[in-house]
Homo-oligomer: A and B are copies of this chain.
Amino acid sequence: MYRTAANVSERQLAPPALAISTVIFALRPSERSGRPTLWIPLVRRIREPFKGRWALPGGPLTHSESLQDAASRNLRETTGLAPSYLEQLYAFGGLHRSPSQRVVSIVYWALVQPTEAALADESENVRWFRADRLGDLAFDHNAIIDYALWRLRNKMAYGSVAYHLLGEFFTLAQVREVYEAVLDRELDPANFRRQIKATPEIEETDQYLQGGKHRPPRLYRFTGRPGLDPDNRSTP
């Protein structure tokens, strides 16, 4: 924070920098309970400001790509992930987000399926964190993630976004576990399945998941496409 005063005049002259960042969510089994939990990959900053601190993956916007393309390229380059869902979150443009320079960040949020998440790159400078145990991140990234979490919970309650955290086939109990992990409270299995079965986007298959220590549950499939924001309406 001392750094702030260093180059006020520079800051007045340079145009505001434009960056794209992404909050990436995936489910991973908890170490203890084994039940799915929300995890977020972060990258370590290798330059000032906030050198050494963890931050959201991000980078500049190149001229040949749309905002969404930039977000998804970025995501691939830093973490090796291909998202199953990608949506714009918010444009953050507060004056003092970065001590050195005025930066406007257009932030996206993404969901990746567990298979993807399992084989994601992890290295010295890329690491996954539990969404509820992030520590102090660079810039205003803690606040950004809080907002992304709020949005995810909201979309989950209304929209049909939960399925993008699962594979192609899933049991209703798995869907419930997703809801429980994200909303952080237990849900009544019977009532939950009644609601889910009432949504037309969920299709019953004639497959069953074998191998459990109990009655094998039926597998279902999601047959809806996202689509709401301008980018996903009809990308020109």
Contacts and interface: CB of A to CB of B under 8 A. Distances in A.
Contacts of A95: 64-66
Interface in A139-181: 143-144, 147
Given A16-B61, A18-B18, A66 B93 contact: yes
Interface string A1-36: 000000000011001101000000000000000000
A219 interface: no
Interface string A210-236: 000000000000000000011000001
Nearest to A68: B93
Given A16-B18, A230-B143, A91 B63 contact: no
A63 B93 contact: no
A126 interface: no
A92 B16 contact: no
A226 to B, nearest CB: 15
Nearest to A70: B93
Contacts of A12: 63
Nearest to A105: B91
Interface residues of A, number: 28
A88 interface: yes
Copies in the complex: 2
Contacts of A104: 18, 61, 67, 106
A63 B13 CA distance: 8
Interface string A91-104: 11111100000101
Contacts of A94: 66-67, 236
A92 B61 contact: no
Nearest to A108: B91
Interface string A66-95: 110000000000000000000010111111
A144 B231 CA distance: 11
A67 B104 CA distance: 9
Interface string A174-193: 00000000000000000000
Nearest to A228: B150
Given A61-B93, A88-B91, 17 more contacts: A12-B63, A15-B15, A15-B18, A18-B18, A18-B104, A61-B104, A66-B93, A66-B95, A67-B91, A90-B229, A90-B230, A91-B91, A93-B106, A94-B236, A104-B106, A147-B229, A147-B230
